[in-house]
Structure formats: structure tokens, C-alpha cells
Amino acid sequence: MTKCIKKRCAIYTRKSVDEGQEQAFNSLDAQREACEAYITSQKANGWVCLKERFDDGGFSGGNTSRPALKQLLAECRAGNIDVVLVYKIDRLSRSICDFAELTKFFDQNNISFCAVTQQIDTSTSSGRMMLNILVTFAQYEREIIAERIRDKFAASKKKGMWMGGAVPLGYRVENRKLLVVPEEAETIKRIYSLFLTTQSPTQVALALNANGLTTKAGKSWSKGNLYHILRNCIYVGKLPHKGNTYDGEHEAILDQDTWDRVQRYLASDKDTPPNLTRKATNIASLKGLVCCGHCGGQMMQVVAKRKHKSYIYFKCTRDSKRAVSTCPIRQVSSTELERVVFSQLSIIFRSPMMTARLNELTCVSSSALSEALSNNFFNEATSQEKRRLAELMIASVKLFENKLELEIKAEGIKAFQEELEHENND
């Protein structure tokens, strides 16, 4: 005969009002009595009622902030409960969303849930089916609520109402409305005026920092946060929402003419000659391998366009984020850098040991190999071939003001030889 595993059962009861709790037998007692009777009927399955009571008298089921419920959940986490019973589902929660979260919690802790008058018992297949139906409706309710919130948010934005978020420089929030901060508003006006005069975010940042003016967060100015200020339509009395702008309830700091002039200038991209922040369409052979020898930062690949021709450069990533450049390298031509790096690789390839191995693999004489490697090999290689060679051989290229340090992969030469041997066999 198989012995039943003992299942510790906790009964949770709740009523919304305090009335009648002082009586010898009240609603909480009636709920508990019904649950105890159900536990008795399941005695053959090993169900045993715990003596500890979890009663919330005078607490709403609209939320989960209830002392007895919190105590029950703590006992569940501690592994002291196997089954949770309630008289009806609404005793646990009147919110179907909260109910779904609670049953998910029970499931994660391997605890069965049972509503004794509604035929929901997650220890049985039919009970789990009923629970899944309720959870499906809970998900539907959550999505409907989220949709209503999004619709309300969009409608409020269209009416020009401030709906929260980071408060921009020049304003403060009071009673959910944006109010102008006079001192900060003067800074905004100064930024726009300086930009129209200098047509350079770098010069504007220099002027602001020199005068001790800071961002809303108390930090120094950079090109990045200045561009954000210059493109923020809030300053002309508008509110942005999903690509559209609406008239705001708040007071504008700038006049429309000033705003329009700045936007026209920004649209022309005159401040970023020669478009160094644009992504290059050509991939440099050394991309991802070059770093700044002064700060250790990555050197990013950028492209400059002059007279309809593109030029690829490497520029210190960290330095590009500063309002004022402090990197002595500034930018380096990709073509010139490749020439120097691959000439160093050529020296490695022309070493006696490497030449002998290549001679063995290619059946080309050592003298012919030496001449080819010194004159034509790297000049005639395609960008893809150079890129592959760089990936195999180079660990990093560290740039300094008047030199570079080339770190070669010890395993790279072997990998190159193996690839060459494989191609030769094919």
C-alpha cells in the first residue's frame, strides 16, 4: 500500500469591513469552516490543515497590501505550505490581474491553489484548466488597460498637457504643469543666440563652461547635450509625441523665428564638416583594431566627404564626445595608417623563417617571394583580403602622436599558414 505524502494546507480568509468581527462566529469563521471541511474530504490524499490562521478582516480585495496575505506569502517562500485554500477567488483578490500574479507565484513555489466553492483546484487537471481560462482573461484585461493608458497619454499630449519625464532645462513642474524658471530660461536663450552667432556647438560649449553655466544635472556642456537643447521643440511651446508635435499648455521660452532659423541651420549639417559623424560606407581593413595610445579608448572609423569623394579616418571615440578636443592625435587617415601597418607586416612576412615556410607551401622561390612581399603583395590585395589578414595577424594597433605599437597575434601566423596550406591543397 502506497503511503500518501503529507500536504500542509493553509486557509486564507478575508472580508472588506470590520463589522461583526467581535461576534463569536463571524464571516471569517464561516469561510474557514468551509475550507476545513474540504480539507477533511481530501484526507485520503494526505491533506492536513495548519493551525496558523491567515485572516484579513476589514481589508479590501482591490489590492494585495494586506498583513495576513503578506504573512501567507512569506510562509510560502519559506517552504512551509503545500496548498493554499480560499472560500472563493474574490477572497484572495478582486483584481483578476493580481489574482493571476498570485497564482503565478504559487506555481513558481510548487504550491497548489484551491477555491473550495468554485471547483478550482490546481492539484487536478480540470482545476488547472479553469485557472488557465481565468489567467487568459487576466492577460486580456491587462492589455486593455495598457491600451487605454496609451490612448489617454496620446490624447493628453494632443491637448498639450505635460505627461511626465525628464524636466528640460528652463522649466520646473508644479501641479503637473511646466512652469518657466527665469534663470534657466536665460541660459536657453543664450545657447540659441550663441549658436546663431558662432554656428558651432563646440564654441557654444566653451562659452557656457567658461562662464560656469551647467546642465540641469549640474554637469559641464558638451556637443551632445547642446544638440538635444537645440532640437527640443518644448522651448517654442510645443510637445513632441511619436514623430508629431502639438501645441503645449506651457509658456514658450523662444520665439518662432529664432527656433526656425536654428532648425534650418541644423538641417543643413553645416556644423559637421566634413560629416565626420556619418557612418562610412567603406569598411577600413583595420576597423575595430585601432585604439588611442593616450587614453586607451577605441578609435572609431569615420568618413569625410570633400568634392564628392570619400576619405576614411580613425578618430578617438572618447575625444569626440568632449566639448573641447584634448587628444593630440585628433584623427588619422585610414589609408596612411594601413600603409604603415602593412609595411610592418611585410617585414614579418619577409623574415627567413616565414619565407621558408611560405616557399614550402606555395612552391615559389624564396627570392621571388621576398620581392613579391616587399613590392606588390599588400598593394594588390583587395580590401577584403587585407581585412582577413588583419583579423588573423593583428591583436591591436595602438596609436601615439609620433609612433604606433603593433601587437601581433602569436597564433595568427600559424592560422595564416594553415589557411594557405588548406587553399593549396584545394
| CA angle centred on 394, ends 393 and 395, rounded to 5° | 125
Report pLDDT for 144.
73
Rounded Cα distance between 88 and 210, Å, is 69
Nearest to 39 by CA among 15, 12, 71, 10: 10
Report pLDDT for 251.
92
Contacts of 424 (CB under 8 A, 6+ apart): 361, 362
Report pLDDT for 421.
53
Amino acid at 245: T
Dihedral, CA atoms, 56, 60, 63, 68, nearest 10 degrees? -10
Global pTM value = 0.40
Amino acid at 127: G
Dihedral, CA atoms, 116, 118, 121, 125, nearest 10 degrees? 150
Task: Sort strands 83-86 and 177-180 into parallel, antiparallel or unpaired.
Answer: unpaired
Report pLDDT for 280.
39
Rounded Cα distance between 3 and 78, Å, is 25
Tell me how many helices (H) and strands (E) the chain has. 16, 16
Rounded Cα distance between 68 and 14, Å, is 9
Element at 244 (helix H, strand E): strand 244-247
Report pLDDT for 324.
61
Report pLDDT for 138.
59
Q: Which residue matches cell numbers 615556410?
A: 357
Task: Sort strands 290-292 and 394-399 into parallel, antiparallel or unpaired.
Answer: parallel
Report pLDDT for 345.
76
Alpha helices of 286-382 — where are they, by DSSP H?
317-320, 334-349, 352-362, 366-375, 377-380
Report pLDDT for 218.
86
Peptide bond just before 274 cis, omega within 30 deg: yes
Which three three-digit cell numbers place residue 186? 536665460
The alpha carbon of residue 206 and the mean position of all alpha carbons in its chain are separated, in whole angstroms, by: 31
Integer CA distances (angstroms), 243 to 34, 168, 239, 240, 246, in order = 58, 18, 10, 7, 10
Nearest to 411 by CA among 398, 396, 392: 392
What domains are there in the chain, each with its CATH number?
A: 7-140 (3.40.50.1390), 171-268 (3.90.1750.20), 290-425 (no CATH)
Report pLDDT for 171.
93
Report pLDDT for 278.
40
The model's pLDDT over 330-339, given as tens digits with 9 standing for 90+, comes to 778 888 888 8
User: Residue ranges of the chain with pLDDT lower than 70?
Assistant: 1-3, 18-26, 134-142, 269-284, 307, 320-325, 349-350, 353-385, 410-426
Contacts of 377 (CB under 8 A, 6+ apart): 346, 349
221 touches 213 (CB < 8 A): yes
Amino acid at 292: C
What contacts 24+ positions apart, CB below 8 Å, involve 361-368? Answer: 361/417, 361/420, 361/421, 361/424, 362/420, 362/424
Rounded Cα distance between 206 and 341, Å, is 37
